[in-house]
């Protein structure tokens, strides 16, 4: 019997009536398997004595003598029992809310075993959160099934109306009835190799461990099991995509084709070795008979766009079309423009498609696309509108992939006949997530930045010293450079910000906003330097003019919201000032900082913050100051926010995990992945034994 097969309702257990069942259901527990997989959130170790005098350092676990009773009288004629107790180290009192019967059960002089959390109040060491049981004459607890004296006890997440004690009792019953018949799910070879527990022993010990050592071993076993089967699932998905070839396709020669070579010859620089390696991998994928599904990772400014253009040329040379999908119009337009500049001279035909094009022009474009007269279409979600058809869509490129949902990605893929897919992530994805959430994709990583880039100097500045920043930026502007100023709000009192970040949205009171600050900067701070305003509500034509003028250097200062977060590429801009930096998440800060440092000049990023900072806010700003490595920042972000907040996570089996945490358990995850992939290599039909069972039927 496998744990997942214990599908009988919890009501088969003695003591689980309809009322209890209803409570359990609220915790998502309906079957016995659910109950056994409702893992403790922590464990109370009552095997270790903690005398009363140490109440401050942990929960107290000691034997006491009852000294006296007293009553606290409240309003509405309520009274609450107060029991004074002492052990050999200190005296304390217990506030017995709704437990008047303890007066009879524990008369003065009774010896008891006590477990509780104490604090110092009204001159006493006191507790409202305790368990107490009388000791019998032999010194052992007398209450049947009493837990005070037990060893290590589980502490479960609860819901209203459900008590810790009853959940413990039910779990104990379920374990006694069902645990002995549980079969192992992990292969025996792995259990033996890693000295793990059997499933039966592990599931019992995770709830009621006999010792700390056993608890550790039980956790280790269950965590490894979860990660192993997660990776089995990931591996099977990858194999299904490659139609059973195993995960390492034989690489064919990844030589550049003529179009690609022509582009490289025209560039004023040579591609970095990271870019070259990524292109080689992409070429090999696109030559193979299986559709490509590749994630291109690289830090901000590592030159992913160029790699995607080279991939597009591969599709075009083969007689196909490529679609380059971007999340914002600003970015899509920028891609279309640089594609036009770089690729049109090679005879490649580029089009730009957005949601709000005039009907006539749009119709013409659509027919050209359908006729195959366009080779590369760059655009927003308009690229997969219902009425868009492609002659022969061979490659889909998704930039800033985290901005698109699964359904949108599928919609663009459906425009072709199993086209190749290249996804690009703006911010590096932590290794642990790459192995789980994106575990079934092939991954190319660009580790190097184009040569000559200088590390961006990052400074933290208190709001009150913002004038120093202004003075500094004025100097850079005078030297011919350009600057961005980013604000968390579009307009005062407008909580409809451009910030996807809930932190920034949380409380807009007293925040600087882009609209009023653009006026202030233009009139009072930087008179004489042309300035423009950019945010999501500026209309499209104006946005385009602004960006073109900024790119040409006619506009020196952009006062903006986080719309400049993604993609914007203007190498002459070397100052990024982010006001209320404490309001932005790490990923956004890193992205915005990545807008500078793209040229040869030294670049600067000023993170201007308003005190007081929260602990998280402080951590974020310090991380930004300490490092510019996107991979490090991604890991920190994950630590601060947890995987649930990291883009794309919801689509994985990630949340089926109970005890395992791919971030904390990154090392186990890597081993589990290797194990799982080796199993699949040896036997492509390998799967969770319960799945194999149902497949047989």
Tokens at residue 532, please? Answer: 């423009």
Q: What is the 3-state secondary structure (H, E, C) of 660-675?
A: CCCCCCHHHHHHHHHH
Q: Which long-range contacts (CB under 8 A, 24 or more apart) does 141-147 make?
A: 141/113, 145/169, 147/46
Beta bridge partners of 457: 604
Shortest spacing between CB 450 and ligand ADP, in angstroms: 3
481 binds, among ligand ADP, Mg ion, none (CB under 5 to 8 A by kind): none
Shortest spacing between CB 327 and Mg ion, in angstroms: 11
By beta-carbon proximity to ligand ADP, the closer residue of 131 and 448 is 448
Shortest spacing between CB 489 and ligand ADP, in angstroms: 26
Shortest spacing between CB 263 and ligand ADP, in angstroms: 12
Tokens at residue 379, please? Answer: 């655009």
Shortest spacing between CB 269 and ligand ADP, in angstroms: 4
Q: How many residues bind Mg ion (CB under 5 A)?
A: 1
| 124-134 vs 111-121, strand pairing mode | antiparallel
Shortest spacing between CB 362 and ligand ADP, in angstroms: 28
Q: Among candidates 141, 105, 125, which has minimal Cα distance to 53?
A: 125
By beta-carbon proximity to ligand ADP, the closer residue of 184 and 591 is 591
By beta-carbon proximity to ligand ADP, the closer residue of 304 and 673 is 304
Integer Cα distance of 201 and 198 in angstroms: 5
329 Cβ neighbours under 8 A, 6+ residues apart: 354, 355, 380, 540, 543
By beta-carbon proximity to ligand ADP, the closer residue of 272 and 444 is 272
| 79-86 vs 91-96, strand pairing mode | antiparallel
Shortest spacing between CB 315 and ligand ADP, in angstroms: 18
According to CB under 5 A, which residues from 556 to 575 bind Mg ion? 567
By beta-carbon proximity to ligand ADP, the closer residue of 264 and 490 is 264
300 binds, among ligand ADP, Mg ion, none (CB under 5 to 8 A by kind): ligand ADP
302 binds, among Mg ion, ligand ADP, none (CB under 5 to 8 A by kind): ligand ADP
Calculate ∠ Cα 685-687-688, nearest 5°. 160
Shortest spacing between CB 460 and ligand ADP, in angstroms: 24
By beta-carbon proximity to ligand ADP, the closer residue of 170 and 446 is 446
488 binds, among Mg ion, ligand ADP, none (CB under 5 to 8 A by kind): none
432 binds, among ligand ADP, Mg ion, none (CB under 5 to 8 A by kind): none
Q: What residue is closest to Mg ion based on CB?
A: 567
Q: What is the DSSP string of 316-376?
A: HHTT-EEEEE-SSHHHHHHHHHHHHHHHGGGT--EEEE-TT--HHHHHHHHHHHHHT--SE
Q: What residue is closest to ligand ADP based on CB?
A: 303
3 binds, among ligand ADP, Mg ion, none (CB under 5 to 8 A by kind): none
In contact, 172 and 208? CB cutoff 8 Å: yes
Shortest spacing between CB 476 and ligand ADP, in angstroms: 19
By beta-carbon proximity to ligand ADP, the closer residue of 20 and 348 is 348
By beta-carbon proximity to Mg ion, the closer residue of 29 and 307 is 307
DSSP single-letter state for residue 582: G
Displacement of CA 542 from its chain's centroid (Å): 35
571 binds, among Mg ion, ligand ADP, none (CB under 5 to 8 A by kind): ligand ADP
* Footprint of ligand ADP (CB under 6 A): 269, 271-272, 275, 298, 300-306, 450, 569, 571, 598
430 binds, among Mg ion, ligand ADP, none (CB under 5 to 8 A by kind): none
Calculate ∠ Cα 358-362-363, nearest 5°. 125
Shortest spacing between CB 219 and ligand ADP, in angstroms: 40
By beta-carbon proximity to Mg ion, the closer residue of 175 and 307 is 307
Q: What is the DSSP string of 360-426?
A: HHHHHHHHHHHHT--SEEEESGGGG-TT---S-EEEEEETTGGGS-HHHHHHHHTTSSS-EEEEEES
Tokens at residue 567, please? Answer: 């993609």
Q: Among candidates 621, 297, 299, 634, which has minimal Cα distance to 455?
A: 299
598 binds, among ligand ADP, Mg ion, none (CB under 5 to 8 A by kind): ligand ADP
Residues that bind Mg ion (CB under 5 A): 567
């Amino acid at each position: 019997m496998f744990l997942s097969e214990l599908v009988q309702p919890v009501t088969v257990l003695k003591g689980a009536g309809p009322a209890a069942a209803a409570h359990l259901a609220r915790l998502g527990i309906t079957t016995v398997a659910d109950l056994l997989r409702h893992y403790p959130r922590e464990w109370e170790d009552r095997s270790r004595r903690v005398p009363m005098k140490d109440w401050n350092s942990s929960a107290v676990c000691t034997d006491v003598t009852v000294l006296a009773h007293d009553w606290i009288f409240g309003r509405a004629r309520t009274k609450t029992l107060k029991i004074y107790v002492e052990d050999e180290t200190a005296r304390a009192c217990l506030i017995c809310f709704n437990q008047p019967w303890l007066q009879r059960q524990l008369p003065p002089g009774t010896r008891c075993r006590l477990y509780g959390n104490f604090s110092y109040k009204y001159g006493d060491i006191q507790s409202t959160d305790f368990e107490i049981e009388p000791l019998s004459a032999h010194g052992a607890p007398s209450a049947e099934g009493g837990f005070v004296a037990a060893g290590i006890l589980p502490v479960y997440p609860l819901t209203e109306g459900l008590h810790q004690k009853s959940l413990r009792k039910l779990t104990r019953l379920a374990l006694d009835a069902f645990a002995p018949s549980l079969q192992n799910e992990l292969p025996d070879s792995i259990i033996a190799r890693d000295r793990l527990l059997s499933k039966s022993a592990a599931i019992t010990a995770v709830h009621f461990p006999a010792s700390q050592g056993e608890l550790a071993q039980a956790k280790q076993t269950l965590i490894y099991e979860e990660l192993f089967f997660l990776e089995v699932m990931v591996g099977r998905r990858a194999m299904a995509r490659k139609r059973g070839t195993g995960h390492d396709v034989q690489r064919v020669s990844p030589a550049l084709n003529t179009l690609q070579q022509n582009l490289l010859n025209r560039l004023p620089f040579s591609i970095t070795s990271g870019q070259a390696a990524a292109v080689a991998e992409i070429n090999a994928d696109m030559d193979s008979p299986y559709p490509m599904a590749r994630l291109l990772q690289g830090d901000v400014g590592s030159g992913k766009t160029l790699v995607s253009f080279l991939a597009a040329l591969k599709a075009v040379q083969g007689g196909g079309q490529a679609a380059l999908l971007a999340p914002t119009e600003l970015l899509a337009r920028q891609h279309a423009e640089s594609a036009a500049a770089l690729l049109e001279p090679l005879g490649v035909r580029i089009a730009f498609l957005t949601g709000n094009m005039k009907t006539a022009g749009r119709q013409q474009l659509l027919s050209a696309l359908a006729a195959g007269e366009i080779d590369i279409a760059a655009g927003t979600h308009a690229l997969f509108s219902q009425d868009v058809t492609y002659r022969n869509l061979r490659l889909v490129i998704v930039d800033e992939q985290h901005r698109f949902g699964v359904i949108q990605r599928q919609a663009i893929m459906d425009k072709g006949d199993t086209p190749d897919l290249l996804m690009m992530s703006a911010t590096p994805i932590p290794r642990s997530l790459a192995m789980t959430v994106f575990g079934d994709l092939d991954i190319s990583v660009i580790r190097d930045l184009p040569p000559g880039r200088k590390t961006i100097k990052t400074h933290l500045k208190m709001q009150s010293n913002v004038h120093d920043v202004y003075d500094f930026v004025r100097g850079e502007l005078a030297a011919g450079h350009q600057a961005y100023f980013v604000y968390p709000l579009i307009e005062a009192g407008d909580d409809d910000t451009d910030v996807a970040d809930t932190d920034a949205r949380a409380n807009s009171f007293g925040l600087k906003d882009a609209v009023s600050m653009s006026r202030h900067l233009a009139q009072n701070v930087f008179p004489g330097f042309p300035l423009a305003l950019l945010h999501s509500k500026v209309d499209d034509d104006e946005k385009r003019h602004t960006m073109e003028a900024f790119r040409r250097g006619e506009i020196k200062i952009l006062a903006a919201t986080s719309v400049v977060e993604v993609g914007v590429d203007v190498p002459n801009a070397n100052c990024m000032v982010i006001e209320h930096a404490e309001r932005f998440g790490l990923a956004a800060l890193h992205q915005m900082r990545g807008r500078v440092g793209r040229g040869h000049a030294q670049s600067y990023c000023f993170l201007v913050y308003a005190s007081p900072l929260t602990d998280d806010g402080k951590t974020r700003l310090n991380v930004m100051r300490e490092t510019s490595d996107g991979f490090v920042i991604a890991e920190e972000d994950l630590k601060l926010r947890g995987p649930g907040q990291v883009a794309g996570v919801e689509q994985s089996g990630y949340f089926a995990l109970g005890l395992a945490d791919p971030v904390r358990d990154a090392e186990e995850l890597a081993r589990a992945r290797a194990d799982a992939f080796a199993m699949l290599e040896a036997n492509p039909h390998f799967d969770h034994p319960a799945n194999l069972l149902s497949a047989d039927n």
